[in-house]
Structure 1
Amino acid sequence: MNKETLLDAIEAKRTELLNVAFKNGLTSPLAIQHSQELDQLLNLYDELHIQTIKKAHVK
């Protein structure tokens, strides 16, 4: 997954989370599920960003 695709997925999941939380509450099981999925996407982005930085320092 490239950076732009990942950023698009993060924004889409963030929007879904906000909509679910507004409709069902922040502590609803569905909001928690969306929050965890967003966390996974953000963690993946961090991992990719760290790898990019490490590669830049090696050159």
Structure 2
Amino acid sequence: MVTLDNLLEKIEQTRNHMLSLSRRMPLTSDAVVTASVQLDDLLNEYEKQRKNM
């Protein structure tokens, strides 16, 4: 199982990656949208695990 600390680290990495991509590409590009979806999934998983504590 992934710990909350590990999830927070992955969330921060994914957020930074998405922001980096968005500075170089349109916000609607496949790469930026994919990173955004990944970030949403991680945030949802974080909230789910946090509520189950």
Which sections of structure 1, spanning at least 5 residues, go unmatched? 53-59
Instruction: Provide Cα deviations, 1:1-59, integer angstroms capped at 9, x if missing partner.
Output: 0011110000000000000011012111100000000000000001001111xxxxxxx
Alignment: residue pair count: 52
Relative to total residues, which structure has the larger helix share, 1 or 2? 1
Identity %: 31
Q: Which residue of 1 aligns with 2:5?
A: 4
Q: Which residue of 1 aligns with 2:21?
A: 20
Root-mean-square deviation (Å): 0.5
Q: TM-score, normalised by structure 1?
A: 0.85
Moved over 3 A (4+): none
Q: Which has the higher contact order (CA 8 A, sep 6+)?
A: 2
Q: Which residue of 1 aligns with 2:45?
A: 44
Q: TM-score, normalised by structure 2?
A: 0.94
Considering only CA atoms, is the larger Rg found in Structure 1 or Structure 2? 1
